[in-house]
Amino acid sequence: MLNRHTWPNRPGVRLVDTCPGRFMHVAEPVLDVIGPTGRLTAADLSPAMAEKARQRLGQSRNVSVAVEDGQALSFPDGSFDAVVCSLGLMFFPDPQRGLAEFHRVLRPGGRAAVSVNTVPERSYNTRINLAVARYLPSLAEAAARVFALGDEMKLRSLFEDANFRDVEIILQATVFTLPSFDAYFGPIEAGAGSAGQAFISLPAGVRRAVREELRRELGDAGGPIELEVEYRFASGRR
């Protein structure tokens, strides 16, 4: 997502990150890319996530933080050179409307870029959503949403229907090696991320069952574990 296509290579670039999230995976690195003359707006629907962004980014003078609905952004037309949305578009009730808003707030020639999960067996921790849903069927629809935009043709169609040009789709895969299953699952048990928050809300018996299912699924034999993870990235020009 953070490449030469995402924004024009010139001083004064204005960029909005519509889903900075708990860990600022895009917002923090992008500050190094846009430099001191650029301007980053971190916009999240959740006031709690916006506050976390303010705590982590607020000391940078070229950062502003706002509580915003990605499907109804308050910014004027043509406000930004780039819009990014990391692992967030699939949670929009209407992703098409969200992309239409991204298109609206872009200046001519600006680009929007998003990343999405592909399939559960090649996700890092969002695979837990489906494991949870197997024990709590009422959560099945929400769990499936996490992977709803992983198909390349569907993602391309969403961008093109939102009037983006020069749409590019790439698949990026990597392998994470962790020293143990506990090193992987510990942050989830502590409530990290959306998967962790879903996990800690479960009854104790269900938590134990989900943990054991994930342990078997990842082939835990008491030593290091490997996770093959992939994400699909899409971008388009206004």
pLDDT in tens, 179-194: 999 999 998 898 877 6
Mean pLDDT computed over 113-142? 86
| C-alpha to C-alpha distance for 113 and 156, rounded to whole angstroms | 12
Mean pLDDT computed over 223-232? 94
Confidence class for position 74, pLDDT limits 50, 70, 90: very high
**pLDDT > 70? residue 6:** no
pTM: 0.85
Q: Return the pLDDT at 89.
A: 95
Confidence class for position 234, pLDDT limits 50, 70, 90: very high
Beta bridge partners of 176: 227
Residue 126 Cα distances to 65, 174, 198, angstroms: 26, 16, 10
SS3 at position 62 = coil
- When the pLDDT of each residue in the chain is averaged and rounded to a whole number, the result is 87
Of residues 103, 99, 89, the one with CA closest to residue 149: 89
Confidence class for position 20, pLDDT limits 50, 70, 90: confident
Q: Return the pLDDT at 10.
A: 62
Q: Return the pLDDT at 1.
A: 46
Give the tens place of pLDDT for each residue, 77-123. 999 999 999 999 999 999 999 999 999 999 999 999 999 999 988 99
Q: Return the pLDDT at 27.
A: 66
Count CB neighbours of 189 within 10 A: 13
